[in-house]
Amino acid sequence: MVRVPLTPEERQRGERFGALLRQARGERSMVEVAAAAGVSAETLRKIETGRAPTPAFFTVAALAAALGLSLDELAVACADASGRDGSEFRRAG
Amino acid sequence: MVRVPLTPEERQRGERFGALLRQARGERSMVEVAAAAGVSAETLRKIETGRAPTPAFFTVAALAAALGLSLDELAVACADASGRDGSEFRRAG
DNA sequence: AACTATACCGGTATTAGTATCACGGTCATG
DNA sequence: CATGACCGTGATACTAATACCGGTATAGTT
């Protein structure tokens, strides 16, 4: 087993993540936001619909910047939205 | 061409990103931090050495949480370290 | 020298992210 | 209805991330 498939929880987390991005996009079109972030509209669509549940960090960073979102708040919002134990996101100190 | 390879600038950004993580890790071992973040030590090593220049968002989030780093500061630190125009990171509002 | 722990490296296997192409739906125009 | 522009979507192509294995090098201990 060299690369475990994404767990259902990770898929669900991706769906929540996409929902947050879509909510933050509001009335703006996909092409508008995608162009502002420097990614293709299809990529944004896949992330928003949860078909790309674990997008690249800098892709998310560019989208968050285009949408005016905080990466930290985005991360905790995905983990906090459901009944997760949150252990993977607890601070080190 | 369906997926453009990573540009040299993206590779260099990945190296800066890995250097930041390694600096934040300090005296702690790779296995220690990797276990705390829930990723394999090889993955952490590849990210730190720049061999995985564009890691997944939640991988970075878990590592940042284990290291006590801010994702926003991490993103701007990578983009700010070199002579980039920074247009892909300008705030929307 | 042998043992242990840490980190680096190459190879390998498999899933997943990203971009291009082609299609359907909606709205405005004629 | 026909055409065009914009939006969202599905299929497809290709690269990259992640993880496992074995080997190598350094440093500390005995």
Residues of A in contact with B74 (CB under 8 A): 71
Confidence (pLDDT) at B78? 84
The per-residue pLDDT string of chain A (93 residues; one tens digit each, 9 = 90 and over) reads 678 899 999 999 999 999 999 999 988 999 999 999 999 999 999 999 999 999 999 999 999 999 999 999 999 998 755 444 444 434 333
How does residue B4 score in pLDDT terms, banded at 50, 70 and 90? confident
Check if A66 contacts B (Cβ < 8 Å): yes
Confidence (pLDDT) at A1? 63
Check if B13 contacts A (Cβ < 8 Å): yes
Interchain proximity B54–A58, CB inside 8 Å:
yes
Confidence (pLDDT) at B1? 60
Q: How far is CA A81 from CA A3, A54, B42, B66, in A?
A: 27, 16, 30, 20
Share of chain B above pLDDT 90, in %: 77
Residue A89: Cβ-neighbour burial (10 angstroms; 0-12, 13-18, 19+): buried
**Domains of chain B as residue ranges with CATH:** 8-79 (1.10.260.40)
Nearest CA in chain B to A36: B88
Q: Which amino acid is at B3?
A: R
Q: What is the pLDDT of residues A70-86, one digit of tens each?
A: 999 999 998 755 444 44
Token pair recorded at residue B9: 């600038």
Mutate to test the interface with A, among B39, B58, B80, B85 (most CBs of A within 10 A): B58
How distant is C1' of C4 from CA of A7, in Å?
A: 36
H helix or E strand, kind and range, residue A43: helix A41-49
Q: What is the pLDDT of residues B50-75, one digit of tens each?
A: 999 999 999 999 999 999 999 999 99
Check if B93 contacts A (Cβ < 8 Å): yes
Q: Cβ contacts of residue B46 below 8 Å, gap of 6+? A: B52
- Please name the residue whose C-alpha is nearest to the C1' of nucleotide D13: B2
3-state DSSP assignment of residue B56:
strand
Q: Are A53 and A17 within 8 A, CB to CB?
A: yes
Interchain proximity A57–B75, CB inside 8 Å:
yes
How distant is C1' of C12 from CA of B92, in Å?
A: 43
Confidence (pLDDT) at B86? 40
- Tell me the whole-structure pTM to 2 decimals: 0.86
Of residues B34 and B78, more confidence is placed in: B34
Helices and strands in chain A: count of H runs, count of E runs? 5, 0
Q: What is the pLDDT of residues B5-29, one digit of tens each?
A: 999 999 999 999 999 999 999 999 9
Nearest CA in chain B to A61: B75
